[in-house]
Amino acid sequence: MMRCCIRVLTTTVRSYPQAHQLLIRKMATSSSTPPPTGSSKTHFPSDASLPGERFEVRQTHETGDYTPDPSKSFPLSPARQALVDDIVALYEMKPTVQRVKRYTPDCVYNDQFVYADDRYKMAGQWFALPKLFRSAESHGYQVVTNDRDLIQFRHEEAWTFKIIPKTAVINALVSLSLDPSSIDDDFIRVKYHKDQANDKDYSNEGLGATFKKWQADNVSKYMDSPEVKEFEPDKNAGKEPRQTYGRGDEKGDAPVKNL
């Protein structure tokens, strides 16, 4: 979410080639073999009363290349597809109260520049995006994990800034740890949302982690939005101190995964 406004200072921005857009759309409809279906594998506790911090998935990647190939995306059930559709709509700056309710009150959002540890702070992030960006367009995604309590997808997003007339294209791995109490419902909710745009996971330590939490703690306070205020009671949601790992590689409990 907020990572793009800072990352533009260190990332080369570019216009998205039209030919590549057409290629992604073509891949989405030209798969020669059906992708695998989901699995019953579980990663997290089955106790939905536990706070979002207990539902963090950890992984690193050999290259950090999360470019999606939609033609290889795992199929999803209608309920899971509806969840992913709502999450992608949030990335495209289409926040609604109902879409933010996809998260539990004690949810966690963790990316390069934000660590929000309740739904009130999460709402502040999503509803703040239109104040920073002129547009945000999803260029495709590829579901790479469809387990009992975890959905992961590679996602390509183009962010166009309001002040700087440039577009930054970001490829990231989005991990959605699912709320155990809603896994089998029509309206599935998320306990932990992680967004990774490079090969390393987050240590959740140091000055960077402090800034991420400060940013999330303060944005909602300055959002004069009735939609954000609706989630104010979630400030009291159960939470724990963020778990720390010392580093973002295998020694930091983040095994290499070929996703």
Domain chopping of the chain, boundaries: 3-28+52-252
Residue 129: which H helix or E strand, with range? helix 119-132
In CATH terms, the fold of domain 3-28+52-252 is Nuclear Transport Factor 2; Chain: A, (3.10.450)
Q: What phi and psi, each to the nearest 5 degrees, are found at residue 49? A: -75, -15
Contacts with 46 (C-beta within 8 Å, 6 or more apart), sequence order: 180
| pTM, full prediction | 0.86
- Span 226-244, pLDDT tens digits: 999 999 999 999 999 888 9
pLDDT at 64: 87
Residue type, 215: Q
Q: What phi and psi, each to the nearest 5 degrees, are found at residue 119? A: -70, -25
Weakest mean pLDDT among 9-13, 129-133, 252-256: 9-13
Query: DSSP assignment, residue 173?
Result: E
Q: Please state, for a pLDDT cut of 90, what percent of the chain lies above it.
A: 68
H helices within 134-241, ranges in order? 206-219, 226-229
SS3 36: coil
- Is 257 a residue whose pLDDT tops 90? no
- Is 194 a residue whose pLDDT tops 50? yes
Report the Cα 42 to chain-centroid distance in Å.
19
What is the C-alpha to C-alpha distance for residues 86 and 89, in angstroms, rounded to an integer?
5
- Span 89-117, pLDDT tens digits: 999 999 999 999 999 999 999 998 899 99
- Span 51-103, pLDDT tens digits: 999 999 999 998 889 999 999 999 999 999 999 999 999 999 999 999 999 99
| Tokens representing residue 88 in the block | 């992608």
Adjacency order of strands within the sheet including 150-161: 115-116, 103-110, 190-196, 167-178, 150-161, 133-147
Q: Please state, for a pLDDT cut of 70, what percent of the chain lies above it.
A: 86
Highest mean pLDDT among 13-17, 112-116, 179-183: 179-183
192 to 8, 21, 47: CA distances (angstroms): 26, 30, 14
- The count of C-alpha atoms lying within 13 angstroms of the C-alpha of 4, restricted to the half-sphere facing its C-beta, is 29
Weakest mean pLDDT among 134-143, 195-204, 242-251: 242-251
Residue type, 140: G
